[in-house]
Amino acid sequence: MPGIRAISLAGGVDVPALGQGTWYMGDDGRHAADEVAALRLGLDLGMTLIDTAEMYANGGAEKIVREAIDGRRDDVFLVSKVLPSNASRQRTIAACEASLKRLGTDRIDLYLLHWRGGTPLAETIEAFETLQAAGKIGHWGVSNFDTDDMDELAGLAGGKAVAANQVLYNLESRGIEFDLLPTLRAARVPVMAYSPLGQGGFVDDPRLKAIAARHGVSATQVALAWVLRHDNVIAIPKAVRPEHVQANRAALDLVPTTQDIAEIDAAFAPPRRKMPLEMI
């Protein structure tokens, strides 16, 4: 199996184009062992970027990640997020300290503002810079920021240090292709695609199934490979069953053809105008 190709974050660090998400992990202790095992399997397969957040299961997902990375922290690129309600200078620092404790580590490699709230962005940037100076975080970024948000951020002192923007992107949510994705590409700020497989409904589309059959793979793998076709997109699907983890990894080795892309565009139309940024 070929190695996982790297994508450079703004700031120069390389991360795998395919990582692992943890949304909904930690919600039910009965599934904890399976969730930990899935993340560890993903690490074994080279998916060493793990994305989590203080919001997920009220910190429960970060505790699952702690178990998964125990003994192999240095192999992992760890991403977590601060809630907008905690985005003031002092509360961001306190929230980061709490996340570090739950994660059982002394640093978060990439710390994101989960979405915009009432706190001025300049104040949150100041908190991020304080955490960087203390070695508590390596890089900072944002999530659910649209083009106008990114423009505002770029105009602030220190704002151009943003390392990534995590947004919803999948076959049924293509709005970012109209302006946000090319804008970020031009600025060399990669996209982290959350929920790259959506809610799973589109995998039953017969046109997607036909493409999958042509390649001898699943429709889910085609959908994930389609997201990964970009040179500035990092996908972070969540998986708990081992076969799903392995299927996600295999999707990275599938390169959609020109015919595949044309058929996908016919089935799931790309945006023709500016669309409001979708969030879930």
Distance CA 165, CA 147 (A): 10
Per-residue pLDDT of the chain in tens (280 residues, 90 and over written 9): 568 999 999 878 999 999 999 999 999 999 999 999 999 999 999 999 999 999 999 999 999 999 999 999 999 999 999 999 999 999 999 999 999 999 999 999 999 999 999 999 999 999 999 999 999 999 999 999 999 999 999 999 999 999 999 999 999 999 999 999 999 999 999 999 999 998 778 888 999 999 999 999 999 999 999 999 999 999 999 999 999 999 999 999 999 999 999 999 999 999 999 999 999 8
So what's the pLDDT on residue 11? 79
Q: What's the CATH code, domain 6-200+232-254? A: 3.20.20.100
So what's the pLDDT on residue 114? 98
Distance CA 144, CA 151 (A): 14
The answer to the question of whether 114 is labelled as a binding residue is: yes
So what's the pLDDT on residue 217? 97
So what's the pLDDT on residue 1? 55
SS3 state at 215: helix
Spatial contact of 248 and 47, defined as CB atoms under 8 Å apart: yes
Is the whole model's pTM more than 0.75, yes or no? yes
Spatial contact of 4 and 46, defined as CB atoms under 8 Å apart: yes
169 is catalytic: no
Tokens of 62: 């970060």
> 240, exposed or middle or buried, with CB in 10 Å at 0-12, 13-18, 19+?
middle
The domain limits of the chain are 6-200+232-254
So what's the pLDDT on residue 202? 85
